Amino acid sequence: MTKDSITSKVAKSASKKILEGAKTPEGMSAIGGAAAGGFLGGGVGIVGSIAGITIGGITGVLPMAIIGAGGGYAISKIVKHRKKIKKLEKEVESLKTPKGE
């Protein structure tokens, strides 16, 4: 096997996993959140400075896209497991001792 064929197989495998993940509701929510975050982060910049000397700056597209993707993924997970969460909350309420005792 050559180095190119190994790299090609790894790339195909990785892209297949990414595309399979994008088909799920969580993947679609993450992609939507990243797009929205990137759009909103286009007008934001992040600059670092120490003692008044600017040491670097980037646009806010990537950080906001990452935050948006995480938020979209988390919201889709919460919505997906909403019934389990409510059931567990009821069980916790039933296990609490009454305040009168």
Q: Tell me the domain boundaries of the chain.
A: 25-95
* Whole-structure pTM value: 0.61
pLDDT-based confidence at residue 17 (cuts at 50, 70, 90): confident
φ and ψ at residue 52, rounded to 5 degrees: 80, 0
- The Cα–Cα gap between 32 and 65 comes to 9
Do strands 45-50 and 53-59 pair parallel, antiparallel, or not at all (unpaired)?
antiparallel
Provide the pLDDT for residue 3. Answer: 67
pLDDT (tens digit, 9 = 90+) per residue, 57-99?
777 888 888 999 999 999 999 888 998 989 999 999 888 866 6
Residue 69 and residue 33 in contact, taking contact as beta carbons nearer than 8 Å: yes
